[in-house]
Amino acid sequence: MKKESIEVLFTADEISRNLDTLARQIENDYLGQELVMVSVLTGSMMFVSDLARKIDNNKVDVRIDIISASSYGLGTESGDRVNINLDTREHLKGRNVMVVEDIVDTGKTLNFITYLLKYHQPSSVKICALLNKPSRRDPALKDLKIDYLAFPSIEDYFVVGYGLDCAQKYRNLPYVGILSFEE
C-alpha cells in the first residue's frame, strides 16, 4: 500500500503574514465600498474566513456568500466538467464581487464561476486565490487574471492543507504542504 507523506510548503505564520498584506491591499482598493466575498467551497473555507477577519469593517463593508463547484473526482486529477452544487444567495446586481478560491489549476472552475456570476450584473467581479499553478493552465484560459494572489505561483505540486484536500483529507492542517506517495 502507498504511504502518503507531506512536506511543508507554506507555514501557518507565512500564510497569516501574506493574508495581512492581501487584506491591506483589499482595504485600499475597496475603501469606503461594499464587497461581497464569494467563497468557493470547500477548499477556500479557511482562506476566506481568515482573510475576511483581517479586513477592517470601518474601511470595507464585507459580506460573505458561498458557491460550491466541483471539477475534481476523488483523486488528484482535474475533470473536464464543472458542476455547480450550490449557488450564491446574495443579491449581486450592482455590487462588488470577489470570488475567493483556494487554488487555480486549469482555471476551468474560476472561469465558469465568474461567467455565471456576471449573469447577475455585479458592478465588478475580481478573483482572489490563495495559490496558483500556472503550468497547469488550460491553453484557452492562459489570460485568466488573478487580481489578488496570496503567494507567488507554485510548481505543479499536489498541495494539501489549509482547506485543500486529497479525497477530503488534510483540509484541517494549519499549513500548506506538498503531498507525495511513497511505495
Q: Which residues bind ligand XMP (CB under 6 A)?
A: 43, 71-72, 78, 101-109, 158-160, 164-165
Q: Strand (E) positions, the chain?
A: 3-10, 34-41, 61-72, 78-86, 96-104, 124-132, 148-149, 159-160, 176-182
DSSP letter assigned to residue 2: P
Determine if the peptide bond prior to 76 is cis (ω within 30°).
no
161 in contact with Mg ion (CB under 5 A):
no
Q: With contact defined as beta carbons under 8 Å apart, do 163 and 102 qualify?
A: yes
Select the binding partner of residue 50 from Mg ion, ligand XMP, none (C-beta < 5 to 8 A, by kind). none
- The binder of 175, among ligand XMP, Mg ion, none, by C-beta within 5 to 8 A per type, is none
Binds 127: which of Mg ion, ligand XMP, none (CB < 5-8 Å by kind): none
| Cα–Cα distance for residue pair 114/19, rounded to 1 Å | 22
43 binds Mg ion (CB under 5 A): yes
Piece of the chain touching Mg ion by CB under 5 A; list 43-51, 116-124, 133-141, 172-180: 43-51
Residue 76 exposure: Cα atoms within 13 Å on the Cβ side:
13
| Active-site choice (50, 65, 102, 105) | 105
Q: Does 107 bind Mg ion (CB under 5 A)?
A: no
Nearer to ligand XMP, 91 or 169 (CB): 169
Q: How far is the CB of 120 from ligand XMP (least distance, A)?
A: 21
CA distance 6 to 169: 12
Active-site residue, 105 included: yes
Q: What are the residue numbers of the active site?
A: 105
